[in-house]
Amino acid sequence: MKIQEAQDMVVLYDSLQLAHKCILNSFYGYVMRNDLKKKLTISYPCVMLNVDVARNNTNDQYQTLVNPVNKTYTTHSECSIEFEVDGPYKAMIIPASKEEGILIKKRYVVFNDDGTLAELKGFEIKRRGELKLIKIFQAELFDKFLNGSTLEECYSAVAVVANRWLDLLDIYSSLPRMVDLTRVIYH
């Protein structure tokens, strides 16, 4: 009788093991489906910088007025940057980076509401020692930034200047080398 009980136990355990295996395989197949796979990439330096910003640059006593009559406030944490604008300005032009993730120099042009130049940062027109040709080109471009009432009209006005300069450079490259470029530009 003991041999029969042992054999029955072997059959029972084999059956349980097979059932267990079927359940696990089904579960694995379901979980590992392509539409359920999600990747999470964590960058250690990014995580550390985020923690540093949260710890060292969060105002934990930020208050917002909830009820002006009772003068009650709620206190909460906030990590924000506020900008002070001297304006109102008509426009601010900031050149875009050609490639994502590439840092560019701080360059911008700010125009007053009346169209005059309020601030200019980082462009060759402002620097000593730059080619006069580039300074003249940029000055002409900046004058056209406010032309038009839509972005397309502005781009068209700037394109006219850029195309004229491209044509001048193309003409100059075909002239004898003794010709002064300033004569080509101003004539």
Burial of 113 (0-12, 13-18, 19+ CB in 10 A): exposed
**118 and 69, same structural domain?**
no
Residues whose CB is less than 8 angstroms from the CB of residue 64 and which lie 6 or more positions away in sequence, other chains included: 73, 74, 76
21 and 53 within one domain: no
Residue 49 and residue 121 in one domain: no
Domain identity same for 166 and 143: yes
Are 182 and 97 in the same domain? yes
Specify whether 56 is located in the same domain as 131. Answer: no
- Is 128 a member of any domain? yes
CB neighbourhood size of 124 (10 A): 15
Q: Tens digit of pLDDT for each residue in 63-121?
A: 889 999 999 999 988 877 665 556 677 777 777 666 666 656 677 788 888 888 888 77
Residues 184, 172: contact at Cβ < 8 Å? yes
Domain identity same for 99 and 160: yes
Co-location of 64 and 130 in the same domain = no
pLDDT tens, position by position, 17-58:
776 666 666 666 655 566 656 676 777 887 888 888 888 877
**Is-contact 169 186, C-beta < 8 A?**
no
Q: Is residue 52 part of a domain?
A: yes
- Evaluate whether 145 touches 120 at the Cβ level (below 8 Å): no
Same-domain check for residues 66 and 19: no
Residues 105, 175 share a domain: yes
Among candidate residues 120, 121, 114, 122, the one with its CA nearest the CA of residue 88: 114
User: Is pLDDT above 90 for 14?
Assistant: no
Identify the domain containing residue 163 by its residue range: 89-186
- pLDDT at position 186 over 50: yes
65 within some domain: yes
Straight-line distance from the first to the last Cα atom of the chain, in angstroms, rounded to the nearest whole number: 118
The pLDDT assigned to 187 comes to: 47
Closest-CA residue to 74 (of 66, 83, 84, 82):
66
Domain count, the chain: 3
Query: Does residue 138 surpass a pLDDT of 70?
Result: yes
Reported pTM? 0.44
| Domain presence at residue 83 | no
Structural domain contains residue 84 = no
* Same domain as 138, residue 95: yes
120/155 same-domain check: yes
